[in-house]
Amino acid sequence: MNFNDLIQAISAIHEELTGQATKAVNFSLTVRNWLIGYYIKEFEQKGSDRASYGDHILQDLSHHLPHNDGFSYRSLKLYRQSYTIYPQFGQTMFAQCPSNVIRQTPSAQLYDSYAHHGDLIDEDLDQFHSFYETFIRSVSFSHFSLLITLEDPLKRMFYEVECVRGNWSVRELKRQIESLLFERSALSRDKKALSDHVRSLAQVDSPQLMIRDPYVFEFLGIKSQEVLYESDLEHALLFKIESFLLELGYGFCFEARQKRILIGEEYFFVDLVFYHRVLKCHVLIELKVGGFSHEALGQLNTYLNWYKAHVMTEGDNPPVGLLLCTEKNHALVQYACAGMDNQVFVSKYQVRLPGTEEIREFVEGVIRDE
């Protein structure tokens, strides 16, 4: 063994065991969420005091459980759906917990979820069970959160199979659902060719992508900013721009880094969030390691509109966004304002906020240092 062999051996060990660890975390998370959904459903059906809670069970639960551990109303509803949609997982799920922790109630004798496949022989059913055993261990709970929104069982099964075959990331699964792959496959004469083509272009899952799953953050108690950085340059810029703006003395008050927001059914992360005490508005900063794109500006404007609708309070002015784009030898700085038609406000912001040239020079200095 030479030195290069040693490097390759260590790298291979790291990649293999990191992959195993992240899959184990995702599997445990899926088990936990399914079991929580099971118990909620059991209580709704047979709880001795269920009538006292009525339709507010999930709301009441979310108030009594640690909110930052994944027990929000939305999350609890999702866990219940995961059990309702996938009751056939029962044998696998209950097997993961000691009997003194999880006790099945009489109604936990789960019905045969394959009853609608009555024409299948035992060998076919064995293959179904075998596939779902693989499926549970191959995908994250974020995959499940997308799949359970599909009401057609056949359509859902199609994406389950393709997800496992192609080792799709969550982003890839979402993209294929939105691109109507199921419908396109139904209309295609050569379904295998279409499937092979899609798999050749698909973004596959990796330990790095899996560990960035928002549900994993909640499950492990990890703060978003501890795992979301994509490069050393991004890491350095986010930390240094924070200090830079605070030291300017313009009135910036630091509020959050990698602020997670929920838009529709999808999580997004705002790189930096400040509140400007003089302008009385939020300032959102987005960093893109690379060149400017209209998609990046559109994303920032989406965040601004979300803040305007959900965070702005009486007395606040509309939020303002700062988009930083980096290239090897230069930087681009662009301000974005959400719904600010009043030019007086725009001018006021321009006076109170640091100039684009000042920020550009700072960003380029960080790039040179890196």
CATH of the domain at 243: 3.40.1350.10
| 106: Cβ contacts below 8 Å, ≥ 6 apart | none
The answer to whether residue 167 sits within a structural domain is: yes
CA 326 to chain centre: 25
Task: Give me the pLDDT at residue 34, please.
Answer: 92
The answer to whether residue 115 sits within a structural domain is: no
Are residues 265 and 199 located together in one domain of the fold? Answer: no
Which H or E run includes 236? helix 232-248
**Of the candidates 257, 318, 306, which has an alpha carbon nearest to the alpha carbon of residue 282?**
318
pLDDT 10s digits, 304-352: 999 999 999 988 988 988 888 887 567 788 888 766 555 555 566 666 7
Task: Give me the pLDDT at residue 111, please.
Answer: 38
Question: By three-state DSSP, how is residue 140 classified?
Answer: coil
Task: Give me the pLDDT at residue 243, please.
Answer: 82
Are residues 153 and 227 located together in one domain of the fold? Answer: no
Are residues 248 and 344 located together in one domain of the fold? Answer: yes
The answer to whether residue 48 sits within a structural domain is: yes
Of 168, 189, 214, the domain-final residue? 214
Cβ atoms 319, 312 nearer than 8 A: yes
Amino acid, single-letter form, for residue 257:
R
For the chain, what percentages of helix, strand and coil (3-state, to nearest 5) are there? 60, 15, 25
Cβ atoms 285, 271 nearer than 8 A: yes
Residues in the chain: 370
The answer to whether residue 257 sits within a structural domain is: yes
Task: Give me the pLDDT at residue 239, please.
Answer: 76
Sheet architecture: strand order including 320-326? 252-263, 266-276, 281-289, 320-326, 331-337
Q: Count of domains in the chain?
A: 2
Domain assignment of residue 342, given as a range: 223-369
The answer to whether residue 298 sits within a structural domain is: yes
**Of the candidates 131, 113, 144, which has an alpha carbon nearest to the alpha carbon of residue 27?**
144
Lowest mean pLDDT among 85-89, 281-285, 348-352: 348-352
Are residues 303 and 209 located together in one domain of the fold? Answer: no
The mean predicted confidence, pLDDT, of the chain is 78
Are residues 142 and 260 located together in one domain of the fold? Answer: no
Split at pLDDT 50, 70, 90, the class of 85 is very high
Are residues 285 and 242 located together in one domain of the fold? Answer: yes
What is the Cα–Cα distance from 34 to 65, expressed in whole angstroms? 17
pLDDT at 92 over 90: no
Are residues 311 and 176 located together in one domain of the fold? Answer: no
Are residues 159 and 245 located together in one domain of the fold? Answer: no
The answer to whether residue 77 sits within a structural domain is: yes
Q: Which residue has the tokens 């529709």?
A: 264
Task: Tell me the range of 209-213, 223-227, 269-273 where mean pLDDT is highest.
Answer: 269-273
Of 148, 181, 214, the domain-final residue? 214
For the beta carbon of residue 102, count every other beta carbon within 10 angstroms: 16
Task: Give me the pLDDT at residue 83, please.
Answer: 92
The DSSP secondary-structure symbol of 355 reads P
Are residues 190 and 240 located together in one domain of the fold? Answer: no
Are residues 249 and 284 located together in one domain of the fold? Answer: yes
Of 184, 214, 244, the domain-final residue? 214
Would the pTM count as exceeding 0.75? Answer: no
Are residues 232 and 333 located together in one domain of the fold? Answer: yes
What is the Cα–Cα distance from 327 to 292, expressed in whole angstroms? 9
Angle at alpha carbon of residue 246, lines to 274 and 292, rounded to 5°: 60
Are residues 180 and 264 located together in one domain of the fold? Answer: no
